[in-house]
Chain A
Amino acid sequence: MEALILTIIATSIPLLLAATGELIAEKSGILNLGVEGMMLSGAVGALGAVLWLENPYYGIIAGALSGLLMASIFSVFTINFMTNQVATGLGLTIFATGLTGLAGAPLVGKTIPSLPKIEFFLLSDIPLIGSILFKQDFVAYLSIAIIIFISFFLKYSKSGIILRAVGDDHQSAHSVGYPVKKIRWYATCFGGMCAGIGGAYIPLVLTPHWSEGMTAGRGWIALALVVFASWIPWRIIVGALIFGGITIAQLVGQARGWPIPSQLLSMMPYIATIIALTMISGRLSKNNSVVPSSLGKPFFGGQ
């Protein structure tokens, strides 16, 4: 039971991080469909860095930087050259799939040490709760810290309110004097770093070696999670845990030999995503105020 919960948490962390980053980008009005690509880059960056520097913590930094690099490419084109965000995001994922395939080829077959668990004196020894709350790795704590920070940032900080204003009505935000493009750059880059760390977590904790396209659609599920959470940060935690749970449930089902073909079990996370989106979207279309109004629209004015 304990092991099961721990695996569910570990599975949901990449989704959690990537979705949180994307949430910030979308709040600023940028729809970045390149999450899958940024996660892949984070994964390959982390693997390379850990193999080279032999310390898993460098993997986190390398993952963040790889994601940042990808997000910068996306920003140059969508924000400065005002390209279509949907198509550019797709392009980013396609580009990153190719780039990581190339960069990852020399890494095939090599295994890296996994990220150590951080223990707190005595607290970690409490049965069940101890190992769930006080015996996680650095990234797990980081992701929760980011969610808490983001919740307060968006609600109470001045910068957070400006960010939301830019996403809701970039024309007005611009006329009041806020640098729309600069703010969107920052938000997208933050999103890229989160996705990169999320991607890095996959080799650092889940499967310690490279395989092409190893994110297996997590980036896309993260995008769906943002909608599922109706752009409210803490709901991403709930969503990510549900998807982590479904992913693990089907793996357990396969291992225990449930009388359902394994492929049909493997479909569950993807089908669940569609069902979740359907349930939420019906409600969202009645209450449109939660969706950032300028989401996906390029900003032409100014500078």
Chain B
Amino acid sequence: MITFIPRDKVSKNWIIIAPILSIVFTIFFGLLIFTFLGYNPLETLYQIFVSPFSRIDRISDILVKACPLIIIGTGLMLCFKSNVWNIGAEGQFIMGALLAGFIALSFPNIETKFFLLITILAGFVGGALWAFIPAILKTKLNVNEILVSLMLVYVAMLFIDFIVRGPLRDPMSFGFPLSKPYPEGALINKIPFPGIGFLGQLHYGILFVFLLVPFSWIFVNKTLSGFKINVLGSAPQAAKFAGFKQNSITITVLLLSGGLAGVAGVIEVSANIGQLQPEVSFGYGFTAIIVAFLGRLSPIGILFAGIIIATVKLGADNAQMTMGIPKVVTGLFEGILLFFLLTGETLQKYKIKWSEGKK
């Protein structure tokens, strides 16, 4: 029989140990499942966790993949902290990319890179507008934001498919569902390193992450809004007592997280694709949920979590190419990881006591 006894105060050690233990357990159980399904566990382990580090350009690809995850994850952190469950970041990502793409394609000859400020802003607006739907329904009519934000993912996927095959299709694309290429001003370039040249796909979009992480840290830890978000999530009664307006916080965090997901969409398309296509996301919006939790809902944590999860994603790509393991397998690791992380959260607040026999 297991009994849980509340701890007097939250264990500090657990905050660091729990994520590490979770990763160890996840690898163990993941490999168990692989072995059970008839894959070579050691080779899988190598492909998923080691092969992404095998070449320098691959390491830079980790950063490229981590970029949207960290941006979206930071936005989701604000939501989850205040107990608002936005799980539609995937849709907000798409709508951000789409609105920015529409603006970019409306100015086919623009060359100045200052134009990027406009497309990124458009991406923020696109994502925020998409998140505004669950926000307004939640606050005005008490409609469950989980279901609404998720349904809007499917709507967004179908919408971009329609736009790219219809109104925005490039007539010169030989029937492929692609828009015209973006103008020079809307493209994010790769970073040239003196003496080395390009490092894989590493692009200037990564600079946004370097700005975002400290900004979000200050926002969460040093501003009144950040404080309100923390209180609302950890002590809703206290927040009510203090007179914090729950609805305005809910709307704020949804708009911010939607906006950030939209920006991630712009950066992803402008840096890596350069035109609109039916699939722009590849599940970043969902993976970022795991990133937010693995990062323990803290900006610095999310930075590391984004890099770890990006590694696994790249590793899964390699495993698909070399071993024929379907790419969706990352979901298996992500799911188990989330289970253990959440258990860690319980153990942070409660001590386990083993006792013999029943009751």
> Which candidate, B104-112, B209-217, B341-349, is the interface stretch facing chain A?
B341-349
- Given A83-B346, A88-B339, A94-B338, A278 and B143 contact (CB-CB distance below 8 Å): yes
Which single member of B148, B162, B330, B338 contacts A87 (CB below 8 Å)? B338
**A232-280 CB contacts (< 8 Å) to partner B:** 261, 263-264, 266-267, 270-271, 273-274, 277-278
Interface-lining segment among B121-129, B149-157, B222-230: B149-157
Please measure, in the bound complex, the distance between the C-alpha atom of A96 and the C-alpha atom of B165, giving whole angstroms. 32
| Number of chain B residues close to chain A: CB under 8 A | 54
A92 touches B335 (CB 8 A): yes
Total interface residues on A, CB under 8 Å, equals 49
Contact with B along A77-96 (1 / 0, CB 8 A): 10011111011101111111
Given contacts A83-B343, A95-B332, contact A273 B147 (CB under 8 A): yes
Q: How far is the CB of A75 from chain B (nearest CB, A)?
A: 12
* B155 contact set on A, CB distance < 8 A: 267, 270-271
B141, B158, B331, B339: the one within 8 Å of A73 (CB): B339
| Contact B331 A277, beta carbon cutoff 8 Å | no
Checking B133, B144, B158, B345 against A84 with a beta-carbon cut-off of 8 angstroms, the contacting residue is: B345
Which of B137, B151, B162, B326: most chain A Cβ within 10 A? B151
> Which B residues from 315 to 359 make CB contacts under 8 A with A?
324-336, 338-339, 342-343, 345-346, 350, 359
Q: How far is the CA of A298 from the CA of B57 in the complex (A)?
A: 46
Tell yes or no: B70 within 8 A of A by CB.
Answer: no
Residue among A82, A261, A274 making CB contact with B162, cutoff 8 Å: A261
Cα A101 to Cα B329 with chains together (Å)? 7
B284 contacts the other chain (Cβ, under 8 Å)? no
The stretch of A20-28, A127-135, A156-164, A217-225 that contacts the partner chain:
A217-225
Q: Is the CB of B328 within 8 A of A83?
A: no
| Known interface pairs A83-B342, A223-B147; A217-B154 also in contact (CB < 8 Å) | yes
* Alpha-carbon gap, A102 to B324, bound state (A): 10
Chain B min CB distance to A107 (Å): 11
B328→A212 contact, CB < 8 A: yes
A303 interface residue per 8 A CB criterion = yes
Q: From A274, A281, A284, A303, give the contact of B359 (CB < 8 A).
A: A303
Contact A277 B162 (CB under 8 A): no
Residues of A within 8 A of B28 (CB): none
- If over half of A's interface residues share one DSSP class (helix, strand or loop), that class is named, otherwise mixed; here it is helix
The distance in angstroms between the C-alpha atoms of A83 and B342, with both chains bound, is: 5
Check A99/B148 contact, CB under 8 A, given A81-B343, A94-B334, A303-B1. Answer: no
Q: How far is the CA of A281 from the CA of B136 in the complex (A)?
A: 13
How many whole Å from B58's CB to the nearest CB in chain A?
22
A165 is an interface residue with CB less than 8 A from chain B: no
Q: Counting CB contacts under 8 A, is B161 at the interface?
A: yes
B161 in contact with A263 (CB, 8 Å): yes
By a CB distance below 8 angstroms, the chain A residues around B293 are 87
Whether a CB of chain B sits under 8 angstroms from the CB of A98 is: yes
B324: nearest residue on chain A (CB-CB)? Answer: A105
A-B pairs with beta carbons under 8 Å apart, 16 shown: A33-B146, A77-B339, A81-B343, A84-B342, A91-B334, A91-B339, A97-B331, A98-B333, A98-B334, A99-B33, A101-B326, A105-B326, A217-B150, A270-B151, A274-B148, A281-B143
| Contacts from B to A (Cβ < 8 Å) | 1-4, 33, 37, 80, 85, 87, 133, 137, 141-144, 146-148, 150-152, 154-155, 158-159, 161-162, 165-166, 286, 289-290, 293, 324-336, 338-339, 342-343, 345-346, 350, 359
Q: Which residues of A contact B (CB under 8 A)?
A: 33, 73, 77, 80-84, 86-88, 90-99, 101-103, 105, 212-213, 217, 220, 223-224, 227, 261, 263-264, 266-267, 270-271, 273-274, 277-278, 281-282, 284-285, 300, 303
